Amino acid sequence: MSWTGFGRTLRTVGVVGSGQIGPDIALHFAKSLAPAGVRVVVQDIAPAAIESGRAKLRKKVEKGAETGAFKPDLAKAMIDAVLFTTDLAPLRGADLVVEAASEDLFIKRKIFADLSERCPEAILTSNSSHLEPEVIFDGAKRPGRTLVTHYFFPAERNLLVEVVPGQDTDATVTDFCMKFYEAVGKIPIRVGSRYGYAIDPIFEGLFLAALLLAEQGAASHKQIDFVAQKALGLGVGPFTAMNLTGGTALTRVGLEHYHERIMPWFRVPPSLKDRTDPWPAAGRDEKVEVDPATFEKVARRLQAVYFGLVGEILDAGITNVADLELGVETALVMNAPFRMMNSLGTKEALRLVEEFAAANGGFKVAACLRVPEPFAIPCVLRRDAGDVAVVTIRRPKTLNALDRDVYHQLRRTFEEIAKDPKVVAAVLTGFGTKAFVSGADIQMLAAVKSPEEGAALSWESQTAVMAVENCGKPVVCALNGLALGGGSELAMACTVRIAKAGLPVCFGQPEPKLGIIPGSGGTQRLPRIVGFERAWEILRTGRTVSAEEAEKLGYISDQVEGDIVEAAIDIARHLKTPSTIERGPLRVPEKLPAIEIAPLSRKVDEILRRAILEGCARDLDAGLWFESRCFGEACGTKDMRIGLENFFRTQLRSPAPFVHA
């Protein structure tokens, strides 16, 4: 058995090293690939490490089964799929191998010299945290199939992977790794080759800043941890994080090299030299007291270092705003840097960095921080595959939910596509495997305070969706996962929709369960796509539709096995017309089937029925305008507030107690 995708087949995946992170990498591979029958081999020269790694993986899988994270069949398959061994022979012929053994260059090169003989066709990657791929793979027999894939603690749960190709890495190998990691549930970001890559200099730089504050007596270790959590939004403070990851020795080496390779401010302070004991850190329920003056001093220093480090990395050109924003927030579990600077004010952020640099020799003030306007943070990403523009909505934390910023970026992107003479068609998709778009951002909806605000928000979203529909070029929607609410409505604006095969939930309009109605065209386009009677039932019940049913209804044209984006690109190139939807008024049936809507709001249903019936009796443009007015009316009901409160409380696991008013 095997896993096939993006031009490669995986039958055996190897992990060399069964220490701190190797078993966790293997656990993630097992979770993702065991259902396809892929074997995962964990190899280490130390029998004790093998036994420890096997016990660690089994314990985590069993705990996952107990909590319901893994179904019993999957848990058994995961344990059965992983072989822990001191023998190198089972790695022979492996298709992908991740080295997670050591940051010792001699050991890495020895491992890869052996692997290149045993696995001549494999992609060979190193889970190095610092070393450049050109250094690790210097002299490699097949450098085109080598690169760094840097995981973060804990590797089975932390979604980020830095994909760092070397100067000799084949572009097809880098492309495969980016697509593969996304397909198995990770968030890969491509990073240029530089010592430490993009994320670790921030993690280790903040630790250094905290350590210097403690050495200077500004506050205790526990107090600094506490302030860091509050001031930077960290899940745990820098000292606690260092204890959890066991990275003190590695950080010491990293700081030595950063001093020469990034900026002179980096150094190994006295309290870090020869340190082996855990750092002082507060217990789980321990209360830490910090007076306001100390809090302010420590917070300002840490924020200044954070902004300065992020700016330096951006200036270095090894990554971009979108990837760095997502990478830091995901890997380090902290406030995203550019949104934080925008919120504080970019002038104030620059002032903090300049103030810190003036008092701390060798600290750089990045040129990118001197721009007075807020940072633009892309979450709608465009790449061109020849003459086809591929547009991806990437907000993995919210399953690609649509907020005002996304709508604005979508409209701008498709307006640019419309004007681009090199582009003949476009593909619209979402990041990841779970969702194309999970719907409108619930926080955005909750902020609506009046019918007028609701109607304005609806029309704002309508204009973005119409930019897709009216760009004058064919647009294929590649439904990589579910499309709910605003996501389903966005997909309807495309010329053609295809979906990943076998989706249990392909699309749906769950707005009635929230006490609202569709506001981005669903009441007008769905009847034109699947027929009035079918749309009538789907819209009013808020139920979801599988890919199989969606294909029968005509909502999607095909279910796709394999690379859905590549399939969409091929379809887009062969489409001749930009839009196929009926734009004139629809014939509204004199009699429609009775629909059972309990326990939904009768008040909201009355507004929804009017939006469908009266809107569809008009041409499409007028119907969309009418839908926005009706959406605003629904926002003025008591049931809208009840529905949203119920969502925040139960995530729709229980029906809302609507009062029908």
Residues annotated as catalytic are: 489, 511
CB neighbour list of residue 437: distance below 8 Å, 6 or more residues apart: 393, 399, 400, 401, 402, 430, 483, 484, 485, 486, 487, 488, 490, 491
User: Which residues pair with residue 164 across a beta bridge?
Assistant: 148
- Give the separation between CA 327 and CA 318, rounded to whole angstroms: 13
How far does CA 61 lie from the centroid of its chain? Answer: 24
Q: Are 34 and 77 in contact (CB under 8 A)?
A: yes
For the beta sheet containing 482-484, the strands, ordered from the edge strand earlier in sequence to the opposite edge, are 435-437, 482-484, 507-508, 544-545
List Cα–Cα distances, 630 to 221, 449, 540, 603, in angstroms. Answer: 56, 15, 14, 12
C-alpha closest to that of 375 among 401, 350, 404, 402: 350
* DSSP H helical ranges for 19-166: 22-33, 47-67, 72-81, 105-118, 133-136
In b/e form, how buried is each residue of 194-209, taking b as 16+ CB within 10 angstroms?
bbbbbbbbbbbbbbbb
- By DSSP bridging, strand 558-560 and strand 496-500 are parallel
- Give the separation between CA 619 and CA 640, rounded to whole angstroms: 28
Residue 501 has which token pair? Answer: 């095969």
Q: Are 130 and 253 in contact (CB under 8 A)?
A: yes
* DSSP H helical ranges for 554-658: 564-574, 602-616, 620-635, 638-650
Residue 68 has which token pair? Answer: 């319901």
To which residue do tokens 């656990």 refer?
27
Q: Are 122 and 94 in contact (CB under 8 A)?
A: yes
Q: Are 242 and 305 in contact (CB under 8 A)?
A: no
C-alpha closest to that of 524 among 450, 576, 582: 582
C-alpha closest to that of 353 among 363, 368, 339: 363
Residue 172 has which token pair? Answer: 């097809």
- By DSSP bridging, strand 8-10 and strand 3-5 are antiparallel
Q: Which amino acid is at 479?
A: L
- Give the separation between CA 354 and CA 350, rounded to whole angstroms: 6
Q: How many CA atoms lie within 13 A of 530 on its CB side?
A: 25
- Give the separation between CA 427 and CA 477, rounded to whole angstroms: 6
User: Which residues pair with residue 6 across a beta bridge?
Assistant: none
Q: Which amino acid is at 522?
A: G
- Helices 22-33 and 72-81 pack at an angle, to 10 degrees, of 120
- Give the separation between CA 337 and CA 625, rounded to whole angstroms: 38
Q: Are 109 and 25 in contact (CB under 8 A)?
A: no
How far does CA 543 lie from the centroid of its chain? Answer: 26
- Give the separation between CA 636 and CA 623, rounded to whole angstroms: 20
- Give the separation between CA 45 and CA 29, rounded to whole angstroms: 21
C-alpha closest to that of 303 among 340, 259, 330, 342: 340
Residue 319 has which token pair? Answer: 């990554």
| DSSP 8-state assignment for residue 494 | S
